Amino acid sequence: MQGVIKSFDPSSGDGVVMCDTDLSDFDLADDALVGSIFRMLRQGQRVVFDLDTDGRATRLRLGSEVDMETPGA
């Protein structure tokens, strides 16, 4: 899935990512940045992510140009 960081608190690690396709909000999982190049996130930052079994965003990463094209284009 791909989306945009809606909010992120670096002190607690809490955050929300908004999905591009249906504008759904997903809380960040506790391990969302583990193994990622990201150490911090900023509002509006584009990311590719997966959902864990609890429906939280995890495995945040950068996408290739193909991954990040506009959905439905």
Each domain of the chain, given as residue ranges in start order, spans 2-61
Handedness of CA 29, 34, 40, 43 (dihedral sign): negative
Is-contact 6 33, C-beta < 8 A?
no
Domain topology for 2-61: OB fold (Dihydrolipoamide Acetyltransferase, E2P) (2.40.50)
Strand 46-51, strand 15-19: pairing: unpaired
pLDDT at 35: 82
pLDDT at 37: 81
**Cα–Cα distance for residue pair 29/9, rounded to 1 Å:** 13
CA distances from 13 to 8, 21, 30, 57, 68 (A): 7, 24, 7, 12, 24
pLDDT tens digits for 32-72? 988 888 888 999 999 999 999 999 999 999 865 555 555 55
pTM over 0.85: no
Range 13-42 average pLDDT: 91
pLDDT at 39: 80
